[in-house]
Each structure stands twice: as structure tokens, then as C-alpha cells.
Amino acid sequence: MPDTTTIEKVPAAGSSSGSARGKSSTKRARRAMRAAYRTRHAMAPLYATAAQAAAGAALAQPDDGWKTALAATAAGAVTTAAWGRWEGRIGKKRLRKRLPARKDFIAAASAVTTGGGLVTAMAATGGLQLGHSPYPALLGAWGIGHGIYWWRRGIKTAAPAPTLSEQMQAWQDNVACTDGSLPGSRLVDVVTTGYGWTAVIVLRKGNWRKAVSAAHDIAGDLDLPEEMLQIEQAVGTSARRAIIAVFDRNPLQDVLDFPGPQILDTVTGQARIGIFYDGDPAHYAFWKPSGPVHSVIYGATDGGKSRFLDMLLGTERHNGIVSFVCDPQGGQSLPRWREAVDWYEDTAQGGLAMLHEVRKIMYERSARYSMMWFTDHKGRRLRGRDHFVVNDPDPLISVTIDEAHRVLNLPGAPALVLEIIQMARKCGIKIRLVFQGPKANMYGSGPESTDIREQAQSGNTVMFRTASTLTDSIGLPGWDINPSQLPMYWPDKTTTAGLGYIKGPDNRQAMMRAYFDRDPAHWATTGSTPTIEAQAAACTGKAYTERLDRLAARLRGETPTLSDDAIPPVTASALSADPVAQAAAAIEAEAPAGTDDTVAAFLAERARPVGRNTIAQETGLTVSAVKNALTRLKRAGLAVDVDRGIWAHPDHTDAPADSPELADAA
């Protein structure tokens, strides 16, 4: 059996108590660290003050420690500036939902720069130096000053969380419940804004129109005023999604000043005429690549129509657009533009005469453009342009008729307007009609009234506050909006003029407010007045050529009269219910005496088929006069249409037509 030795270990004196004390110290340190972590937000100013004191003492040891402190201060200032002003995107995704508030940015900049300055000063002069320097007092003042802002900010910013939670709970309890306005719906992407909050509504069934049509019921469910809630389509996402915005104060309540005629982008033809409730610009199209865009504007009294027209006319004057204006209210709605546009009429009869002259210009341009040489996008030189290009070679003509129902109620006016509105875009003429509301009788008493409304509303449609719920869907068919529900006054008793909806390039069913032109006289009296080109002026009658004489007489207090031929007589066929017959009668009434004989003699002498435009060009007649003369000669058996737009004398129908004639047949 081997020998074994047993060794008994005897603990050294005091070792047991030392180990216990070490463990106890470690536990206390851990508890202190956990407490510091839990209170990191509330105690942040104290920790920052202590960190500055330690940094100043540490950097005071090396001779060039102040350089490190200065570099750290500069880096902190740059980082703070970037934090306060940086906002990036990846595609359509925003990397940052919103910038910090201005006061938070100022407080952060102050903390970084003043704190860094203290550390740099301590590093350069020997550290904290208790009892021998002002640094302890300065650090204490820094901590208290910034700490007060930090603690007060923490109290203020803690409040929105329960408010937002309360709103979402209210949605679930009152809107998304079984008997609510939108059962089974939910809110996602909730974001607080400067005017309240926005979110995306996700419907359980149906599409976004269901949410829009339920907007008033939702306002009731959430116990909100109707004007403090807006719902619109979430464009580019699922049809089951809609955007809801709830306002603490409607952001459109503030008056938006007209920034000037530079709102028009002369490349796209679109102008920023106001803003939507979320701050995005609202656009109005003057023209697009295919030509000018017709417009119709609706609004009850004090809805903002006249001031909106002031803005558009000022924009036209300073961007080379020719303006014709008819203000049948004696010029009281648009008085600043009496002497500031190419043609101004202040009576309904003057407006009708203006339309007759516009039609002459339309046909003169049409004949000229159909023979015009131009270079297309592929570099080919072609004859006959089928579209209008602004200022190449002619300016755009914008015809504004305020209180348009007064003109359209005159005999022959509806057919004339329909003809122009259907054909004038290719000739560079834009019609802008202004009404109190969109009812059919505003467009005249004939059956063509509906056609005029549909054609006009196919372009820009602007609806300010209207007077009847029955017409809301007529002015903007297919839109779930209620302009008649717009308030007349804001809660502070100021007017809501300019508040409305616009169907234009943005195509948003959302509230917008138009800019307000505080000083239309400035834009009316500066710059120069654009006028029509010489060729167009040459084809007009006395209604246009004597316009300035009538204006001078009006300014002298006289009552000027139109010339006898300003408004052609309305024949029996023009009074019929057929708008085509009315248009044909109006054209026929303008044909010079002997037109039929001139055209018949030309066909006989030509001895071969010929195009309408060639006939007009070589006889000196207008295309419209030639067209109607040919129609009458055909009925009399003196002309035959051998092809589209190609005519010949009955004895020469078999003769070959030259190839250029086919280009003349438009």
C-alpha cells in the first residue's frame, strides 16, 4: 500500500472578508450601471456635463490635446448641421419622414458648440482646476441651461403618443367596428404632421371610393368637423387604399399670395396655380403637346373666380399669350384688364361678336397650317401640320368669357361656341368659360348645350364653392367630391375664397386653394400686351379692327355700338335644333356675294379635280366660304366631290388629279 500525504489548506487571515467585499462592490457597480442606463434619458444633461469635465481633464495632459478637442468640436458641429438639414430618398422611399423642429436644431447646435468650446478651453489651460478656475461654474451653468430645455422638451414630446393611440383606438371603436362607417378597415402608416395627422386606410372590401363617399360619416364617427377631414385616392397603390388627413387647423386657411407670372412652365405648358392641403402644388394646363387645353371654371358668388382669372390673365400677359376677354357684367368683374389685353368686351353682344371673329381666325389659321412646311421629330420635311406649336409661328390665343351664360343665351351662340371648341385646339385657340354652376341651362337652351359642357370639361375643370349639391357630380362627373359642402368662412370668420377642386394634370380629388393676386393692377400695367399675328388680323372684320375705338369711346363715358356686320344674321336653319345646321348657317351668312359663281368658274377653268385649300388660296376666299360654296354647288349639280376634300366640275371628274392636290384636301 503506497504512502499517502494529506495536506490541509488553511485560509490566510482576512481573505474571506476581502472576497466578500469584492463581490459586494461588483454588485453595487452593476446596480449603479443599470440605474444609469434606465435613467439615461432623464439624466442625459448630467452625464454630458460629467463627460465634458472628464474629457477636459484628460485632454489637458498632452501639450496638443486642445487640437483634438477643437477637431472633435468641429466634427460635432458638422454632424449636427447635417442632422438638421439632411433628408434623403431611395427611389420613392423616404429615408427620413421629417426634419427636426427648428427649436430642437438650435438647441442641439448650441449644446455641441458651447460644450466643445468648454472642453477645448480646459484642454488648453490645464483641465478643470477646481477652486482655481471658472470652469466648474461654467460647466454647471451649461448643464443646468441645456438640462432645463431637455427636461421641458421631454415633457412636451411625451404627450402625442397617447393622443395618436387614442385616435387609432377611436378608429377601431367607431369606424372599423361592425356598425361603423367602414367595418373591418384599419389604419397603417400613421404620421403626425404640422396640421394634424395622416394615415392610409386599408379597406376590408371595396375600393377607395367607398372611403371617400363615407367621409362625412367618418367625420361624425370621429367627432370631427367635416371640413377638418380629407380623404382621397392613394395613387399608385392598391385600389383598397385611401389616404386620410385629419386637421387640427386646416392648412389651406392661410391666404396664399400669387408669386407672379413665372408660375407657368413654358416647356410643359403647365402653371402652379395653388397648393393642395398637403403642400403639393396644384397645376393648371395652358397647353400640352397636342395643343391648347380648354377650361371651364365654376363657383358661386365670393368663391374666388374673379381673382383666379386675374392670376391667369396676368400670367398670360407676361408669357406672350394673346388674351381676348368678355366681361358681360359691364366690365365690373375684371376691370383691370380693360386696357391690358388684346381685345376686351364688356357686353354679351360684344362677346358674341368676339366669337364670330375668333372663328374667322380659326379658319384662317387652319388653311395656313394645312399648307405649312415643317420638320417632324424624325427630321423629315413635311407639308401640312395637324397640331399647334406655341409661338411657331403664331401665339396661343386664350378667349375668356366670364358669366358665359349671358353670351350663350343669345341666338346662334351655342352653335358658334360648339364649333370653335371642337375645332380650335389645332389652330392654337383656347376657350375658357366661367359660370356660377354647371347646370345645362347655363350653356344655352339648345341641345348642343350638353356637348359644349362635355367638350369644355374634358380639359381643365376648376370648381370653387358652389351653391347646390345637385350639381356637384355634374361639374366633375365620376369624382366623389362636394364643392357645395365647402364652408363660406373659416372658423376665424375669414373668407374661404379660392378653396376648391381642380381636375387638371394632377388629377387629385383633393382640396386645393388657389393663389390670391393682391395686386392685379401691377401685372396689368407692366410688360407689353401680346397681339395676334398679322395674317389673323387681316381676316377679321370691324368688330376686331375697331375694338380700340370702341374702348376709347367707353373710357370717354360714351356708349359705343358694334358695326352692323359684327354679328351675322341668324337664318331659319340656324334656329333649328341641329347644331351642325346652325354652324353651317353662320358660315354661309359670312360668304361674300358671288362666292358660288367664283368657285364654279374656277372649277370649270381648272379642268381637273382640285383640293378645297387650293381653291381658297387661288381665289382669295376663306376655306369655310369655299367649303360651303362647294356644298351648295353640289346640290345644284355644278360640283362633284371625287375624293375626300377633292372637287371637280361635273365635266372633269375623270381627269387625273395631281398628287399635291391630295395634300390640299384637308
Share of the chain above pLDDT 70, in %: 87
| Stretch among 134-143, 280-289, 341-350, 466-475 having the lowest mean pLDDT | 466-475
Residue with cell 369624382: 479
611 forms beta bridges with 646
pTM given for the model: 0.62
In this prediction, residue 86 has a pLDDT band, given cuts at 50, 70 and 90, of low
pLDDT winner (highest mean) among 303-317, 433-447, 586-600 = 303-317
Integer Cα distance of 219 and 247 in angstroms:
11
- What are the backbone dihedrals phi and psi of residue 503, each rounded to the nearest 5 degrees, phi first? -100, 105
| Stretch among 161-175, 294-308, 641-655 having the lowest mean pLDDT | 161-175
Q: What is the pLDDT of residues 612-648, one digit of tens each?
A: 888 888 888 877 788 888 888 888 888 988 887 788 9
Residue with cell 347655363: 442
Which secondary structure element, helix H or strand E, spans residue 7, and what is its range? none
Integer Cα distance of 279 and 111 in angstroms:
33
* pLDDT at position 233 over 60: yes
Question: Does the N-terminal peptide bond of residue 393 adopt cis geometry, omega within 30 degrees of 0?
Answer: yes
233 forms beta bridges with 242
- Cα torsion through 317, 369, 283, 507, rounded to 10: 160
- What are the backbone dihedrals phi and psi of residue 619, each rounded to the nearest 5 degrees, phi first? -100, -10
Q: What is the pLDDT of residue 39?
A: 74
How much is the average pLDDT of 379-394?
89
* pLDDT at position 573 over 50: no
* pLDDT at position 303 over 70: yes
pLDDT winner (highest mean) among 18-22, 191-195, 298-302, 564-568 = 298-302
Which secondary structure element, helix H or strand E, spans residue 503, and what is its range? strand 499-503
Integer Cα distance of 554 and 571 in angstroms:
31
How much is the average pLDDT of 247-274?
91
In this prediction, residue 94 has a pLDDT band, given cuts at 50, 70 and 90, of low
Q: What is the pLDDT of residue 19?
A: 59
- Residue 650 grid cell: 361635273
Neighbours of 147 (CB within 10 A): 17
Between these two residues, 114 and 565, which has the higher pLDDT value?
Answer: 114
Q: Which residues lie closer than 8 Å to 57 by C-beta, 6 or more apart?
A: 122, 127, 128
Record: fold of 263-555: Rossmann fold (3.40.50)
Query: Where do the structural domains in the chain lie, given as residue ranges?
Result: 23-157, 160-249, 263-555, 591-663
How much is the average pLDDT of 198-203?
90
If DSSP codes are grouped into helix, strand and coil, which group holds residue 432? strand
* pLDDT at position 320 over 60: yes
In this prediction, residue 666 has a pLDDT band, given cuts at 50, 70 and 90, of very low
Integer Cα distance of 533 and 379 in angstroms:
27
Neighbours of 492 (CB within 10 A): 7
Integer Cα distance of 452 and 440 in angstroms:
9
- CATH of the domain spanning 160-249: 3.30.980.40
Burial track 515-532 (b if 16+ CB lie within 10 A, e otherwise): bbbeebeebbeeeeebeb
CB 181 within 8 A of CB 175: yes
* pLDDT at position 284 over 80: yes
Q: What is the pLDDT of residue 21?
A: 65
Q: What is the pLDDT of residue 6?
A: 44
The radius of gyration of the chain's CA atoms, rounded to the nearest angstrom, is 39
Same topology between domain 160-249 and domain 591-663 = no
Share of the chain above pLDDT 90, in %: 29
* pLDDT at position 345 over 80: yes
**Distance set, CA 355 to CA 310, 400, 511 (Å):** 21, 11, 34
Q: What is the pLDDT of residues 24-39, one digit of tens each?
A: 777 777 777 777 777 7
Burial track 344-377 (b if 16+ CB lie within 10 A, e otherwise): bbbbbbbbbbbbbbbbbbbbbbbbbbbbeeeeee
How much is the average pLDDT of 127-143?
78
- Residue 3 grid cell: 504512502
Averaged pLDDT of the chain: 82
* pLDDT at position 92 over 50: no
- CATH of the domain spanning 591-663: 1.10.10.10
Q: What is the pLDDT of residue 592?
A: 59
Integer Cα distance of 244 and 251 in angstroms:
14
In this prediction, residue 586 has a pLDDT band, given cuts at 50, 70 and 90, of very low
| Stretch among 46-60, 78-92, 479-493 having the lowest mean pLDDT | 78-92
CB 630 within 8 A of CB 643: no
Apex CA 26: angle with CA 23 and CA 32, to 5°?
Answer: 145
* pLDDT at position 41 over 80: no
Neighbours of 638 (CB within 10 A): 18
CB 284 within 8 A of CB 269: no
Q: What is the pLDDT of residue 160?
A: 46
Integer Cα distance of 342 and 320 in angstroms:
11
Q: What is the pLDDT of residue 130?
A: 74
Strand 281-285, strand 264-265: pairing: unpaired
| Stretch among 192-196, 317-321, 352-356 having the lowest mean pLDDT | 192-196
If DSSP codes are grouped into helix, strand and coil, which group holds residue 11? coil
Beta strand residue intervals within 352-495, DSSP E:
373-375, 381-383, 397-401, 429-435, 460-464
Neighbours of 225 (CB within 10 A): 11
Q: What is the pLDDT of residue 658?
A: 56
CB 138 within 8 A of CB 56: no
Residue by residue, DSSP assigns 219-288 as HHHTT--GGGEEEEE-TTS-TTEEEEEEESS-GGGS--B---GGGEETTTTEEEEEEETTSPEEEEESEE
